Chains A and B, each alone.
Chain A
Amino acid sequence: MTRLAWLPFALYAAAAVAYLAHFWRRSPAVGRAATALLGGAVLAHTFLIGMQTMDAGYAPLVGTTAAVSAFVWLLGLAYLYVELTTDERAMGAFVTVLLAALSILPALNPQMDPRPALLRSPLFTIHVLSMLFAYASFALAFVLGITYVLLFKEIRAKQLGFFYARLPSLQTLDAMNGRAIVVGWLFLTCGLAVGGIWATQIHSVPDPRVQAMGLADPKILVALLSWAMYSFALFARRAIGWSGRRAAYLSAIGFIIVLLNFVPVGYFLTRSHNF
């Protein structure tokens, strides 16, 4: 199992190299190879998650490492869906680099954490999956936002070059960014609501982690902060017309908050979410 745990990382890394090569050289054959490698990586990852589930009898969602693994898997799937439906590969170079970087964590530590009795509720599974799917959407929005800004700057500077030749139109990037934020926000809202309900249900359990569940806990606080951030992004786009570059910056800030909450806060600071 330990060796198998490196397989998704290896394939994600290979896909990242292929996507970067495709972005650079724009060879259709390399592009197809990149998609195939990413497809292979997601399949291998699915297989690994399946094996872990069979082994343990529950889905590997306990602990930050397992959550990172599930996040990578969901983002890979979501990106493949976007690529296959829009026939647009340029974003792959950015997404797969993130996937490869994050998939090192589960590869280094493939041991599944034991699941405490506390987490047996289906609400926990819904909470975690919703949150992770929201994060995956925000990651896509982030990548779309970055590429929007890069292309915007090239056109404004009248230096039509590298990104101009490789990226879809500003309008496409902006529309996709907007959609990713809506999807992400819906899942984030659902995840937070379910998490809140579940936390009230188990409130009487004398576990210190349950007792720490409150606004004072950094993980919960920052999650609410990111919800506020994305709610503002949605409001700004609809009510005050903040699209384009402003929306791109908002989605970048939002995802940086999400990533901070996910990795450093998840590993070191939280007292309520360290299962």
Chain B
Amino acid sequence: MRLVAVGISHRSAPVELRESVDFSRGGLDRALTALAATQLAREAVVVSTCNRAEIYATAVSDAAAPACARFIADYHGVPWDTIAPHVFMLHGADAARHLFRVAAGLDSLVVGEPQILGQVKDAFAAASGLKHAGALTTRLFNTAFTVGKRVRSETGLGEGAVSVSFAAIALARKIFGNLTGLNVLILGAGEMAALTGVHLKAQQVRQITITSRTLATAEALATELGGRAVPWSSLGQALTAADIVVTATGAAEPVLSRRAIEEAMRPRRSRALFIIDIALPRDVEAAAGQVDQVFLYNIDDLQSIVQENLARRAAELEHAERIVAEELARFAAWMQSREIIPTVIALRQRFETIRRAELQRLEPKLAALPPDARARVDEITHLIVEKLLLTPTERLKAINDETQAVNYADAVNKLFSLAAEDTAPAAPEPRPQTAGKEKA
């Protein structure tokens, strides 16, 4: 059985093309059912995110790979020539390595992002639910989940925010813990203010207050964010009530002076104030950051945090790749043993059957011999068979390349006419694990 992976990803195709082959649009179940109807593959899992559309399948021959690639085009009604230059096709251990890297976030646009593991789990759950996942894909995906979990817990690959908004939110969490009870004040009602407001709203803060020199624009944004607008003249009070202040006005001069902050802090006692100044030029006087219990971060500060986090993630890449390699070695050995071990067993059984048949045939002649001489004959024939098989057995077991293993197994099966049922996997298959039950 051959494992193949075909598809297109952000590495190989532009966004318009990826959009045109998005399997999740019509639902993964429909795609899986259509793929099963083509009978191209014995097992199949479709992974579809905004950055990739990939099929992991097992088939009797490598020819399944181009056929599955064509399926991607046909299913979406995209001309084959359009997507052909962007399609990747991988076989055996290479296909497995690709999935493991995807699950670990190593192949993501933002390296280390954690959502992909959940998406891979969903993909497998869908295939598993429709009984399109078999022993090989189940083992493959379970190993991919292990890789994803190990990379997340053993490396710092997913740590540290890599966008300015998330860096700001991560900082707010480090200061306040939970953001749910907090009051947010936004100064300005432009695009940046709106964007940050959306991010903060997603954190379920208690209240978002917006103030702007033009009350009407503040009111418009307040309606959009489900917050309230206050006139610029009540900025002082709003500051005192706020826990997080986002400043994003277009003012040429700072709108918040150190004195204004000091005054706002006085009635607050020691309650911390986190000011995020994302305006350019800056909205908050730098000296305001020295006021007790005030944490002032401007856009440059946040950007340098993002840069540091990116650098730190890059430093963890090697470690993550090592984990992928470890798990891949284990998986490849298992996959190869699926191909080779049954062949080895069948080969040995065939030789043993021949030996016994010959002894049986010679039975009338051997009957005259004394019992210990007969035992010697039995022993010698057994030894001859063992000696004949020793080198081929060792050589077959030593193959560590999956493609080679398949070729050798094929050759041995054909040369010795080993029956197909003899080569069925001897080891019990791992029970399919339902990914839906796992934490995404």
Which A158-199 residues have a C-beta within 8 angstroms of B? 158, 160, 164-165, 168-172
Q: In the complex, A169→B272 CA distance in Å?
A: 12
Q: Say yes or no: A160 contacts B177, CB within 8 Å.
A: no
- What residues of A have a CB within 8 angstroms of the CB of B301 in the complex? 158
Closest to A27 in B: B154
> How large, as a class, is the contact surface on chain A?
20 to 34
In the complex, chain B residues 297-329 whose Cβ is within 8 Å of any chain A Cβ: 297, 301, 304-305, 308
Q: Which of B233-272 contact A (CB under 8 A)?
A: 268-272
Residues of B within 8 A of A164 (CB): 174
**9-residue interface stretch from A9-17, A239-247, A257-265:** A239-247
Which B residue sits closest to A28, measured CB to CB?
B153
A3 is an interface residue with CB less than 8 A from chain B? no
Most chain-B Cβ atoms within 10 A of its Cβ — which of A156, A158, A172, A246? A158
Collect the chain B residues with CB atoms within 8 Å of residue A168's CB: 177
Q: Report the contact-size class of chain B (Cβ under 8 Å from the partner).
A: 20 to 34
State how many angstroms separate the Cβ of A251 from the closest Cβ of chain B: 14
A240–B269 CB distance below 8 A: yes
Contacts of A27 in B (CB 8 A): 154
Contact A169 B153 (CB under 8 A): no
CB of B173 within 8 Å of the partner chain: yes
Say yes or no for A155: interface residue by CB 8 A criterion: yes
Interface pair A170/B269, CB less than 8 Å apart: no
**Cβ distance B290 to chain A, nearest Cβ, rounded Å:** 9
Contacts A160-B308, A241-B269 given; does A171 touch B293 at CB 8 Å? no
Partner of B271 from A158, A160, A241, A245 at Cβ < 8 Å: A241
**A227-256: contact bitstring with B at CB < 8 Å (1 yes, 0 no)?**
000000000000011111111000000000
- The winner among B159, B269, B305 for most chain A CB atoms within 10 A is B269
A54 vs B297: C-alpha distance in the bound complex, in angstroms? 61
Asked whether A170 and B175 contact (CB < 8 A) given A160-B305, A165-B159, A244-B293, the answer is yes
B295 at the interface (CB under 8 A from A): yes
Closest Cβ neighbor of A172 among chain B residues:
B177
Residues of chain A contacted by B293 (CB below 8 angstroms): 244-245
Task: Say yes or no for B334: interface residue by CB 8 A criterion.
Answer: no
- Chain B residue numbers with a CB within 8 Å of A246 are 270
Contacts across chains A and B counted by CB atoms under 8 Å: 54
**How many angstroms from the CA of A241 to the CA of B175 in the assembled complex?**
17
Tell me whether A220 is interfacial, beta carbon within 8 Å: no
Q: How far is the CB of A240 from chain B (nearest CB, A)?
A: 7
B171: which A residues are within 8 A, CB to CB? 155, 160
**From B160, B295, B304, contact of A155 by CB (8 A):** B295
Given the known interface contacts A158-B301, A160-B308, A244-B293, the answer about A169 and B175 at a Cβ–Cβ threshold of 8 Å is yes
Residue B351 at the A interface, CB < 8 A? no
CB contact between B176 and one of A165, A169, A243, A247 (< 8 Å): that residue: A169
Q: Please, which residues of chain B bring their CB within 8 A of the CB of A172?
A: 177
Residues of B within 8 A of A5 (CB): none
- A158 contacts B308, CB within 8 Å? no
- State A247–B292 Cα separation when bound (angstroms): 13
List the B side residues contacting A151 at CB < 8 Å: 174
Taking a contact as CB atoms under 8 Å apart, the answer to whether A243 and B269 are in contact is yes
Cα of A151 to Cα of B173 in the assembled complex, Å: 13
A165 to B161, CA, bound (A): 12
Distance between A159 CB and nearest chain B CB, rounded to angstroms? 9
| Nearest-Cβ distance from residue A72 to partner chain B, whole angstroms | 30
Query: Chain A contacts of B297 at CB under 8 A?
Result: 158
Shortest Cβ gap from B363 to chain A (Å)? 63
Q: How far is the CA of A247 from the CA of B271 in the complex (A)?
A: 12
| Of the residues A155, A245, A247, contact of B175 by C-beta under 8 Å | A155
Q: Which of B176, B268, B289, B304 contacts A171 (CB 8 A)?
A: B176
- B270 near A241 with CB under 8 A, answer yes
| Complex Cα–Cα for A244 and B175 (A) | 11
Known contacts A155-B174, A165-B159, A241-B270, then 13 further A-B pairs from the complex at CB < 8 Å, ordered by chain A residue: A155-B175, A160-B308, A169-B175, A170-B174, A170-B176, A171-B175, A171-B178, A171-B272, A241-B269, A242-B269, A244-B270, A244-B293, A245-B270
List 28 contacting pairs A-B, 8 Å CB cutoff, sorted by A: A151-B174, A155-B175, A158-B297, A160-B171, A165-B159, A168-B177, A169-B173, A169-B174, A169-B175, A169-B176, A169-B177, A170-B174, A170-B175, A170-B176, A170-B177, A170-B272, A171-B175, A171-B178, A172-B177, A241-B269, A241-B270, A241-B271, A243-B269, A243-B271, A244-B270, A244-B293, A245-B293, A247-B270
